[in-house]
Amino acid sequence: MKGYKMITYSQAQSNQELHEILELQKRNLPARLTSEEKITEGFVTVQHELPLLQEMNTRCAHTLAKMGDTVVGYALSMHLDFKDELPVLVPMFKEIERSIELGLLPLKNKNSYIIMGQICIDKIYRKQGVFRSLYKYMLQNIQPEFTTIITEVDATNSRSLEAHSAIGFTLMSRYNSGGQDWELLYLQ
């Protein structure tokens, strides 16, 4: 079909792509969504700054879904080196460590996981397999260094919890931080 473009998957390589991630992120923060959109479409919780996003990308590249040259979805990679960079995520890392100690996460070695720091798909590209494909591409490109992807989801974000469950994420633990309930999930 002439002129037809397909969604492609890659790792972030340019500052332009990182800027597009930030724009898509802003459009999906809770403050920008109606109560109904938060329930039916989901939302992202953390707003990143460009310098940190660049550093994280240098250590372990973020995964992109693109239509032509435009970022239409992303999955952020957060290496353990950044566990103290976002104060809001420090409790998550403590819960991960606790879960590993309790044997709730089957790992070959203690540091064989990467954090998927946030996933987001532009509204018009949802329900087309982009979510699943982002994770598939990410999982392929983090191996052999990492065998597991861990993420946390706001317990009120039912859309995100359903999507993660549908592609095989397993509940590791539930915990409360700052008066908010979280579900810690993993995919191997």
pLDDT (0 to 100) of residue 1:
44
Domains along the sequence of the chain with CATH: 7-187 (3.40.630.30)
Average pLDDT, the chain: 90
Sign (positive/negative) of CA torsion 38, 68, 20, 184?
Answer: positive
- The two three-digit tokens of residue 184, written as one number: 């810690």
pLDDT (0 to 100) of residue 3:
52
pLDDT (0 to 100) of residue 148:
92
Q: Three-class SS string for the chain?
A: CCCCCCEEEEECCCHHHHHHHHHHHHHCCHHHCCHHHHHHHCCCCCCCCHHHHHHHHHHCCCEEEEECCEEEEEEEEECHHHCCCCHHHHHHHHHHHHHHHCCCCCCCCCCCEEEEEEEEECHHHCCCCHHHHHHHHHHHHHCCCCCEEEEEEECCCHHHHHHHHHCCCEEEEEEEECCEEEEEEEEC
The low-confidence residues of the chain, meaning pLDDT below 50, are: 1
Does pTM surpass 0.85?
Answer: yes
| Gap between the Cα atoms of 111 and 126, Å rounded | 32
pLDDT tens, residue by residue, 8-47: 999 999 999 999 999 999 988 778 878 888 777 777 777 8
